[in-house]
Structure 1
Amino acid sequence: MKLFVGIDVSSKDLKVCMMNGEGDTLQSFTVDNNLEGASHLRDQIVAVADKLPSKEIHIGLEATSVYSWHLAMFLHEDEALQKRKAKVFTINPKLITKFKEAYVDLDKNDHIDAWLIADRLRFGRLPMTMVMQEQYIALQRLTRMRFHLVHNLTREKQYFLTNLFYKCSAFTSEVDSSVFGHAITELLLEKYSLDEIVAMDVADLADYLKDHGKNRFPDPERVAKCIQKAARASYRLSKVVEDSIDLILGTSIQSIRSIQAQIKELDQAIERILSGIPNTLQTIPGIGPVYAAGILSEIGDITRFDDQAALAKYAGLVWRKHQSGAFDAEDTKRIKSGNRFLRYYLVEAANSVKNRDPEFGDYYRKKYKEVPKHQHKRALVLTARKLVRLVDVLLRNDQIYTPRRKVNAAKD
């Protein structure tokens, strides 16, 4: 007999429902979401399990951001629960929401979500236990923070470009060098007016770019001429507006540099932790420490997944089937669920791998040519799905990637 424990987690308390295999509610109560409350919950689970007696305990709680993490780890690591073969599941809230729709006349009360979670556990067919080892959790915190910073950096750069159009409306169309290079951002920080840039001697502007760009411009004089051409072609601002835009651009540049420095610091920390986790993902051309860490930290122990298809579903890299009779739709949508962090790192890794591995490069180009629109996005996601098969094989077999030798990955 199994004991099913559903827990509705909030920042303040835990609403608990214990259920047997027949769907009968054995206990229903509320405790505080803290160490004392979790300890009391553990004691109640053990007491009820010993009375049944139960051969196994399934404990489920929704993945509610940080609020469920401490409890999940506490229950997963507790010795008394481990002796009673307890498994802890952190469940996607969407799964519970869909499950709730099957109940038409369900009364509303404070413990209904806990009851639903327990009942969902009773039905079984859950993907996997979701609690990972501490080394993966430590790495996961870093890679998810990096994900957050990368998206912040993208937003800040977009905001910068918007304000740059006020300052120099023709810049992006006339200058083919990156506006975020050190030399050009330094030039913008000097707060030169457009007329002052136009009036500069081309040689002096080229020397400025050469010095601040650390000789990275292959032709600094050509870039200088492009900048002056953009300055001449741009609209002029009044002094008061130009001063405001200069301040905004300067502040935005400092924000961009600060985020970039933070990402660099995180990358170093990620590499240090990853060095203590044996893996073969970095043998794949194009996958360095950051991408390997992002993938590993979300997967954890590969044996949590039955096969590469289960891993792909967890990442949200599967497409819904639409079939009726003899009709089988070719144009289907990717599922919206899945681990967005794992999907992000797989897609980013695939983008890098396709540029360095001929097999993945050929596959990407083949998929790119198959459709008339959204070619890159579609081809890249499909390449990431192909990468899932390789990742699964390498981790499951502790195998080093050898491009000339085909690995025996399972076919879809």
Structure 2
Amino acid sequence: MKLFVGIDVSSEQLEACFMNMEGDSLDTLLVKNNLAGAQYLRDRILSHADKLPATEIHVGLEATSVYSWHPAMYLHEDEALKARKTKVFTINPKLINKFREAYADLDKTDRLDAWIIADRLRFGRLTTTIVMQERYLALQRITRMRFHLVHNLTREKQYFLQNLFYKCNAFRSEVDSSVFGHAIMELLSEKYSLDEIASMEIAALADYLQEKGKNRFPDPEGVAACIQKAARASYRLSKVMEDSIDLVLGTSIQSIRSIQAQLKELDKAIEKMLDGLPGAKCLRSIPGIDLVYAAGILSEIGDIERFDDQAAVAKYAGLVWRKHQSGPFEAEETKRIRSGNRFLRYYLVEAANSVKNRDSEFGAFYRKKFKEVPKHQHKRALVLTARKLVRLVDALLRNDQLYTPKRKVMTAKD
């Protein structure tokens, strides 16, 4: 006998519905979403399990951002519930919404949502079970923060380049060196006018770049000459406009450097956390998968045993294509599903882009897929390469195996 408990989660409340295997609603309960509320809910779950009596308890919560994490972890780790063979499922809200469509005549309320979650638990066939272990979740918080900062850095650099065009519109067409190098950023933050830059001695400007760039320029005089050429070719701004743009550029430079410093701190924390996680060495043995990619993939997958096979991992990442078949006809062009973990998909695709440049097998696979179609070649080939990478990642993690390109990698069935 099983007891099913559906929980509708909000930031302040937990609405629970208790259901038996026949689909009968045994009880409903509303508690606060805090420690005391979760403890009271646990006691009621145990009480109903004793009354049935239940040999197994299934608890389901919608994966509602941060709100479901604390109650799910509490119910998953509680010793009394563990003794009753309790399984805690965090369910994709899209799955619940699709299931709700079968009950079109029902209203949308929290109590009914809890009932629908319990009923969905009763039907079973939920592939992703239990909350990830805490050490993976701790790493996930850091990698997602890094993901957030990287995208902020990209936006800030784009904004900087827009404003740089006001100050020196010929810069990017005349200067080969990166705008975001330390020396050039220092030059721009000094608030020199274009006339001042244009009138500088080449040797003085070259010495300035060499000093700020810590002697990393192979040809500082050449770079200095290009910068002066850009300054002379650019439009001039009025004093009021120039002061405004200089202030904006200086503020943007500070933001870029601040984000870069934060990224370095996160990378140090990621490296430290990876040392204690199984599977980190396995992933980093793949050519092209560095610290960040390994951490991102591991933190989103968690324990590989959560998934039945590599196909389940691919579906979780959203790297699955829907079939379109009717009778003898089967469509060749199908769309990728839009659900799945976008963070895991991002790290797999980015890692695949790196691996294809360093591993001959993945490089050949990418080129083959690239030539198969006339449009969207790179995007399609890269996503298919990421799908191939899923199989390798699953095999290495499941077998605790290092990647050796010239040797066959064992699959889970081996």
Check the 8 A contact 1:56/1:86 in 2, yes or no.
Answer: yes
Corresponding position of 2:94? 94
Check the 8 A contact 1:7/1:60 in 2, yes or no.
Answer: yes
Corresponding position of 2:287? 285
Corresponding position of 2:329? 327
Pairing 1:109-258 to 2, within 5 Å after superposition: 109-258=109-258
Q: Distance in 1 between matches of 2:321 and 2:94?
A: 17
Instruction: Please point out which of 357, 363, 368 is paired with 2:359.
Output: 357
Structure 1 173/376 Cα, relative in aligned 2: closer, same or farther at 3 Å? farther
Q: Distance in 1 between matches of 2:382 and 2:176?
A: 26
Structure 1 35/310 Cα, relative in aligned 2: closer, same or farther at 3 Å? same
Aligned residues: 411
Shift of 1:410: 7.7
Check the 8 A contact 2:76/2:130 in 1, yes or no.
Answer: no
Helix, strand or coil at the partner of 2:104 = coil
Match status 1:302 vs 2:304: yes
Helix, strand or coil at the partner of 1:101 = helix
Q: Which deviations, in whole Å up to 9, do the C-alpha atoms of 1:194-237 show, x marking residues without a partner? A: 22222222222222222212222222222222222222222221
Shift of 1:76: 0.2
Q: Distance in 1 between matches of 2:352 and 2:88?
A: 32
- TM norm structure 2: 0.96
Q: Which deviations, in whole Å up to 9, do the C-alpha atoms of 1:39-78 show, x marking residues without a partner? A: 0000000100111111211111111111111101100000
Q: Which deviations, in whole Å up to 9, do the C-alpha atoms of 1:336-357 show, x marking residues without a partner? A: 1111111121122112212221
Helix, strand or coil at the partner of 2:71 = helix
Q: Distance in 1 between matches of 2:308 and 2:202?
A: 64
- TM norm structure 1: 0.96
Match status 1:345 vs 2:347: yes
Check the 8 A contact 1:389/1:410 in 2, yes or no.
Answer: no
Q: Distance in 2 between matches of 1:358 and 1:219?
A: 35
Q: Distance in 2 between matches of 1:314 and 1:354?
A: 23
Shift of 1:403: 1.0
In terms of mean alpha carbon deviation, does 239-248 or 31-40 score higher? 239-248
Structure 1 394/231 Cα, relative in aligned 2: closer, same or farther at 3 Å? same
In terms of mean alpha carbon deviation, does 235-244 or 31-40 score higher? 235-244
Q: Distance in 2 between matches of 1:367 and 1:220?
A: 43
Q: Distance in 2 between matches of 1:282 and 1:234?
A: 47
Runs (4+) off by over 3 Å: 408-411
Specify every segment of 5 or more residues in structure 1 that has no aligned partner in the other structure, as ranges.
Answer: none
Q: Distance in 1 between matches of 2:188 and 2:267?
A: 28
Structure 1 346/247 Cα, relative in aligned 2: closer, same or farther at 3 Å? same
Helix, strand or coil at the partner of 2:102 = coil
Structure 1 105/297 Cα, relative in aligned 2: closer, same or farther at 3 Å? same
Q: Which deviations, in whole Å up to 9, do the C-alpha atoms of 1:136-157 show, x marking residues without a partner? A: 1111111111111111111111
% same residue: 80
Q: Which deviations, in whole Å up to 9, do the C-alpha atoms of 1:246-279 show, x marking residues without a partner? A: 1111111111111111111011111111101132
Shift of 1:174: 2.2
Helix, strand or coil at the partner of 1:240 = helix
Q: CA RMSD in A?
A: 1.6
Q: Distance in 2 between matches of 1:297 and 1:220?
A: 43
Shift of 1:325: 2.2
Check the 8 A contact 2:175/2:226 in 1, yes or no.
Answer: yes
Shift of 1:409: 4.3
Specify every segment of 5 or more residues in structure 2 that has no aligned partner in the other structure, as ranges.
Answer: none
